[in-house]
Structure formats: C-alpha cells, structure tokens
Amino acid sequence: MYSVKNLYFSYQDQKILKNINFFIERGKLTTIIGPNGSGKTTLLNLITGQLDVCSGEICFQNKLLKSYSIKALSQKTAIVSQNVEVHFPFTCMEVVMMGRNPFKSRMKNLNKKDLDVVLKCMEMTETLGFANKSITNLSGGERQRVMIAKALAQTPEVLFLDEAFSNMDIQYTIKLLNLLKDKVQKEKLTVISIMHDLNLTDLFSDQILALKNGKMVEYGKTQEVIRPSLIKELFGVNVRKNEEKGLVILPTI
Ligand SMILES: Nc1ncnc2c1ncn2[C@@H]1O[C@H](COP(=O)(O)OP(=O)(O)OP(=O)(O)O)[C@@H](O)[C@H]1O
C-alpha cells in the first residue's frame, strides 16, 4: 500500500530523517515509536503528503504520492493530527460532517447517505451526546473522539493518527483502539499511528516501526520488535515483559 525508498528529509540544514525504507501492507495497524524528536511526526507528515520529500520516493497504491491531487488523497486517507485546535465554534456534528467534504460537490448539502455515515461514526465513537455542543467547549479527550469520528466519516482506506489518544482516558482509548482494530481486521482498513504508550502499542499493533535520531532502527511484527533490549536502546529505560498477561511491559526501577 505504501512503499518508502531511500527517504531523506531536512528542515533547513538540520537532517531529520535519514535513509528510511519500508513497505506497509493493506489491512494492518502499524505503530511508529521512538523518543521525542526522533522524527515520527515528520515521517507521518511526509507519508500523508503534508510535507515534500527532500530525496527518495514515497508510493501509495503503486503510484508516486506526489502524483495524487489533494482531493484524491482526501478521498482515500484521513489524518488525525496531534493536538488539533478548533477555534471557530462549530458544533461537533458540523465538524464530523466536514469528514464528508471530499465526496460532495461545492455548495451542495450532504445527502441522506452522507448523514447516515456521520451519525454512525458519531455513534461508534460515543460522540452523539454532544452533537449540538460547540467543539470549543469540549474537554481534550472528548475533542479527540470527535476528530476520530470526523476521520472515520471520511470512510478512508488509510487512517493516520498522530498521538490521537493522548488526552483520552484509558476506557475510551481501549474502546477506540478496539473499534479501529475491528475495522482493520474486518474491513481491511490500514492504520498508521504514532503512540507513546508502549503497553497499548504492544497490545494493538500488527507492525512496529521504530525510529531513533531520524533513522529506522527496526521494522517488523510487534511480537518480534517489542523487546526489552529495543526499549532500552530507544528510551534508555529498563522494562520486562510479562508473557502471561499478553506481553504487558512493566517498567523496572
Ligand atoms: N517546522 C519545523 N522546523 C524546524 N524543525 C522542526 C520543525 N518541526 C519539527 N522540527 C524538528 O524536527 C525534529 C523531529 O520532530 P518530530 O516532530 O518529527 O519528532 P517526533 O518524533 O514526532 O517527536 P515527539 O515525540 O516529541 O512528538 C525535532 O528535532 C524538531 O525540533
């Protein structure tokens, strides 16, 4: 689905990503992990086409990413960015309805099918309760659920999440990760996510891409990649895996 070859990226003269190569299959949940500043968001912004590559190549569905129009990309991919700020007091329902914009003609209202998609996505993310409330009046975790509802309303083939659960409590994080995992397994949705919580990463991801100092230090199946030695290499922290409890990572002092 995505192939990335010899990818390099710099901000001015600061080299951020160096020689990144990987292929992401359809219908997998891939999590990008790595220390603060290692280049995770930069990599995500490059794969979503929000940043231009300096050198190397990114292909999406066997075509160069840069050959897609913004509209074509937004009909296939949806992005939930880190700490989205909405300053205009749209209602939550209006925000989720924006997820249908790539599919409707200018100046036309949403049709019944679009509205059904919107309502279903709000129901799945448990956001119907604040449909008429202004997005500016929600808590951080509630707002993140609305932004996920909006992204799902885009009915994407690929969903990108940049720390999309960072303000959610553990109950909603698990509910939404289960929802996405279900869509990955049943509908072949492809999810590419950045997460800092290694236990949840370990539980829900099919594949892990580990970055350190702008280099890809590991990419592969979760159970092979998430090892105490890698976590030590990435974060300098000692952890042990509790094999009985489904590979929970327990920090050690
Ligand atoms: N717009 C920018 N201009 C210049 N440098 C930037 C810009 N955005 C990010 N950087 C730098 O690029 C590096 C990688 O940043 P990036 O946001 O990709 O890291 P990250 O791994 O996502 O970090 P975090 O876990 O803290 O979110 C950092 O050193 C950061 O300071």
- Cα distances from 173 to residues 106, 163, 177, 178, 185, in angstroms, run 35, 11, 6, 8, 18
Q: Which two tokens stand for residue 55?
A: 């050198």
pLDDT score recorded for residue 195 = 96
Q: Which H or E element spans position 215?
A: strand 215-221
User: Which string of b and e fits 22-32 if b means at least 16 CB within 10 Å?
Assistant: bebeebbbbbb
Distance spanning both ends of the chain, measured CA to CA: 41
Quote the ligand 1 centre to 247 CA distance (angstroms): 30
Burial of residue 14 (number of CB atoms within 10 Å: 0-12, 13-18, 19+) = exposed
Question: Ligand 1 pocket test: which of 8, 38, 160 has the largest number of ligand atoms within 8 Å of its C-beta?
Answer: 38
- Ligand 1: atom nearest CA of 163 is 27
Phi, psi for residue 15 in degrees, rounded to 5 = -70, 120
pLDDT tens, the chain, 253 aa long: 999 999 999 999 899 999 999 999 999 999 999 999 999 999 999 999 999 988 999 999 999 999 999 999 999 999 999 877 778 889 999 999 999 989 887 777 878 898 999 999 999 999 999 999 999 999 999 999 999 999 999 999 999 999 999 999 999 999 999 999 999 999 999 999 999 999 999 999 999 999 999 999 999 999 999 988 999 999 998 888 877 766 677 777 6
DSSP classification of residue 110: P
Quote the ligand 1 centre to 56 CA distance (angstroms): 19
The verdict on the CB of residue 34 being under 6 Å from ligand 1 is yes
Quote the ligand 1 centre to 42 CA distance (angstroms): 6
- Ligand 1: atom nearest CA of 12 is 4
Quote the ligand 1 centre to 219 CA distance (angstroms): 21
How much is the pTM?
0.94
Q: Which H or E element spans position 45?
A: helix 40-47
- Cα distances from 41 to residues 11, 28, 183, 192, 253, in angstroms, run 13, 19, 24, 11, 29
The verdict on the CB of residue 140 being under 6 Å from ligand 1 is no
SS3 21: strand
Mind listing the domains of the chain with CATH numbers? 2-251 (3.40.50.300)
pLDDT score recorded for residue 247 = 64
> Is residue 33 a contact partner of residue 211, using CB atoms and an 8 Å limit?
yes
Q: Which two tokens stand for residue 60?
A: 């999406």
Question: Ligand 1 pocket test: which of 8, 14, 16, 54 has the largest number of ligand atoms within 8 Å of its C-beta?
Answer: 16
- Ligand 1: atom nearest CA of 42 is 18
